[in-house]
Amino acid sequence: AELDMEPAGELPYGLSSGVDDLPHARYDLVVVGAGLSGGVIAERAAAELGMRSLIIDKRDHIGGNCYDFIDGHGFRVSKYGVHLFHTKHERVWEYVQRFSEWMPYEHRVKGKCLDQNGELKLVPIPPSQLTVNELFEANVSSEEEMESWLSARRPRIQNPRNGEEMALSRSGPELYEAIFKHYTKKQWDKYPAELDASVLARIPVRLNTDDRYFTDPHQALPAHGYTKIFENMMLGNELIDIRLNTDFFQVRDKLPEHSLLVFTGPIDAYYASQGLPKLEYRSLRFEEEYHEPEGGYYQEALQVNHPGPNVPYTRIVEYKHKPNQPKEVYEKPGTVIFKEYSTDIGEPYYPVPNPANRELYEKYREMAEKEPGVAFVGRLASYKYFNMDQAILNALEMYDSLKETGKLEPKTAFPEATGPKN
What is the separation of C-alpha 298 from the centre of its chain, rounded to a whole number of angstroms?
Answer: 24
How would you label 70-109 residue by residue, b for 16+ Cβ within 10 Å and e otherwise?
beeeebbbbbbbbbbbbbebeebbebbeebbebeebebbb
Q: Tell me, what's the pLDDT at 270?
A: 95
- Express each pLDDT in 380-397 by its tens digit: 999 998 999 999 999 999
Question: Pairing mode, if any, of strands 257-263 and 26-32?
Answer: parallel
Q: Tell me, what's the pLDDT at 8?
A: 42
Q: Tell me, what's the pLDDT at 412?
A: 60
Q: Tell me, what's the pLDDT at 3?
A: 37
**pTM beyond 0.85, yes or no:** yes
- Express each pLDDT in 389-419 by its tens digit: 999 999 999 999 989 887 776 656 555 444 3
Beta pairing partners, 258: 27
Which stretches in the chain have pLDDT values below 70? 1-9, 409-422
Q: Tell me, what's the pLDDT at 1?
A: 34
